Amino acid sequence: EDLGVQHRLWVYSGRRGVHCWVCDDAVRKWSPALRAAAVEYLSLVKVGARGARNPLPPPDPSEGGFMGAWAPPDPAEALTPPAQYREPLQAEFPKKKDSVQRWELLRGRVERTRASGRGVALGPCYADWEVMLQFCFPRLDINVSKGLGHLLKSPFSVHPKTGRVSVPLDLQRLDQFDPFAVPTITSLCHELDTAGSDGEQEDVGETEPKRRARDYKKTSLAPYVRVFEQFVEGMESARRGERIRRSDLQGDF
């Protein structure tokens, strides 16, 4: 909204990332300097920057998302507190059976410190919120965004490690999206084989030729293709409206 961007297509990477394709004509003509400035403006959590409090890598969804990142003993360093707070946490973390218990331990320790008036040692008494911000706020890849010649991953490509398809996201149903349930190259091949077998059985005894449906419509990829088609249709509609507006302006002179 701040940058006036209208046409954005959000695409799941197939593993743990999300790509945002910005297709506004004006934005696509931006120089690398403008692109870098936009990413800098949107970056709140800076990985590896001097002074940035981000000692842990981003969590992997395959390990339970945010909670899965809390494996001992490193999480105690996320707050970078003095030794008298850090060392007890490091000693107690391995005793907890899962990440949920470790997180509750950390929050309880923060609450007790806050209540005792010693919260200055942990910052402005928002240590637990700061940890969540560090892990959950998107980290932007500045090199992908600013480099005009950077290799880009196309929608509907297949992730080489997971086999999952990079599918467009429907923002209206984002809370229903499951990254582990997206189509994989193996599942699509199986669905196509099954659909082909069923089609052969149905065609037996028919004399009139039937119009063949596109293969992807027989698979779980169909709703994602529709999201992509709706995005393209919206962009084309906006472009036609802009051409009409320019034509009307030229006719006024």
88 or 234, which is more confident = 234
The CB-side HSE value for 29 (13 A sphere, CA atoms) comes to 3
Structure token digits, residue 26: 């004006």
Is the predicted pLDDT of residue 237 greater than 50, yes or no?
yes
CATH architecture label of 8-43+140-197+207-250: Alpha-Beta Complex (3.90)
The CB-side HSE value for 56 (13 A sphere, CA atoms) comes to 25
Query: What pLDDT does residue 146 have?
Result: 87
Query: What pLDDT does residue 84 have?
Result: 62
Average pLDDT over all residues of the chain: 78
pLDDT band with cut points at 50, 70 and 90 for residue 44? confident
Q: Note the maximum CA span of the chain.
A: 85
Name the phi and psi angles at 155, rounded to 5.
-55, 145
Contact indicator for 155, 166 with CB cutoff of 8 Å: yes
* C-alpha–C-alpha distance, residues 125 and 138, integer Å: 23
Give the percent of the chain with pLDDT over 90: 34
Which tens digit of pLDDT belongs to each residue from 176-212? 999 999 999 999 999 999 887 765 555 555 544 555 5
pLDDT band with cut points at 50, 70 and 90 for residue 163? very high
pTM for the structure as a whole: 0.67
Contact indicator for 155, 167 with CB cutoff of 8 Å: yes
Sorted by where each begins, the domain ranges of the chain are 8-43+140-197+207-250, 52-139
DSSP string, 6-69: --EEEEE-SSS-EEEEE--HHHHT--HHHHHHHHHHH-SS-TT-TT----SPPPPGGGTTTGGG
174 or 126, which is more confident = 174
DSSP annotation of 74: G
DSSP string, 122-176: GSSS-HHHHHHHHHHSPPP-HHHHH-TT---PPTT-B-TTT-BB--B--GGGGGG
SS3 of residue 164 by DSSP: strand
DSSP string, 98-131: SHHHHHHHHHHHHHHHHHTT-GGGGSSS-HHHHH
**Measuring CA to CA, how many Å separate 214 from each of 187, 200, 221, 225?**
17, 15, 12, 12
pLDDT band with cut points at 50, 70 and 90 for residue 149? confident
DSSP annotation of 91: H
Burial classification of residue 236, based on how many CB atoms lie within 10 Å of its CB (0-12 exposed, 13-18 middle, 19 or more buried): exposed
Which tens digit of pLDDT belongs to each residue from 76-130? 444 455 566 677 888 888 898 888 898 888 888 877 776 665 544 444 457 778 8
CB atoms < 10 A from the CB of 18, how many?
A: 12
